Amino acid sequence: MEYITKNHSKFLLMYHFIFVVKYRKRIINRFPIKNILQKISDDSDFNILKMEIDKDHIHLLIQTEPKISPLRIVKTLKGK
């Protein structure tokens, strides 16, 4: 991984999020989740580096800038 350089800062910030389906129901495979999440990432200020989908949960490795809070990322992903 390489550091991201801006005018007055240099950083490498990544978050590991795990989204679990309510009541652990196995419904994730019924929808094109990868395409939806990647489109949201393309339209937003963060990048999804890795994405793994299991039957009842999703793992995301997200790279972003320090000015964007993890709460904002989760709200963006879950809201759409």
Please name which of 64, 73, 37 lies closest in space to residue 52, comparing C-alpha atoms.
Answer: 37
CATH 3.30.70.1290 fits 4-79, yes or no: yes
Please tell me the distance from the alpha carbon of residue 67 to that of residue 59, in angstroms, as a whole number. Answer: 23
CB under 8 Å to 13, separation ≥6 — which residues? Answer: 63, 64, 65, 66
User: Domain map of the chain by residue range?
Assistant: 4-79
What's the pTM value of the predicted model, to 2 decimals? 0.84
Per-residue pLDDT of the chain (80 residues; tens, 9 = 90+): 789 999 999 999 999 999 988 777 776 777 788 899 999 999 999 999 999 988 888 999 999 999 999 999 999 998 87
